[in-house]
Amino acid sequence: MARPLIDALAMEWKPEEFHDTFQEKVAALITAKQAGETVEKAEPPAKATGAVDLMEALRASVEKAKSPKASGEKAAAPGVKQAQKAARAKKRTNPAPKKTELDGLSKAELYEKATTAGITGRSHMTRDELQEAITRDRAHQKA
């Protein structure tokens, strides 16, 4: 089954049909700089949009569904309601991690920050490892 699929997607390699546009652009930039022309910088990448924390949204939705007004139940006495909240809080084993400015950044954006900070080994790090390394570096800078 895989062979017919590969054969259907395969094509004959004709290297003369392809050329390195990156190298051409770099050569053009070098030539322009040598001639004394000003070269415009590329536009910066788009800023992070502030993604929604889905777990927090789900938790809020579940809490809203449990509320007396939403279910049509009578409201509990004030002391009972506080006891219920305390019981729910005890059930949580892992508190929600503290949000930082780094949470909304992509791996590429974190990599740029790691490069600026001079963090070694960054090219082999995952997104979470980059975030931890940047956080450690910032804490080290403050100390």
Q: Positive or negative CA dihedral for 99, 102, 104, 106?
A: negative
Q: Per-residue pLDDT averaged across 9-32, rounded?
A: 87
Residue 99: is its pLDDT beyond 60? yes
CA dist 123 → 3, 17, 22, 127, 129 (Å): 35, 32, 22, 10, 11
pTM for this entry: 0.34
In this structure, the chain runs to a length of 143
Residues 40-85: pLDDT tens digits?
A: 777 777 777 777 778 888 888 888 888 766 455 555 555 556 666 6
Confidence band (pLDDT; 50, 70, 90) for 133?
very high
Nearest Cα to 48, choosing from 105, 108, 127? 105
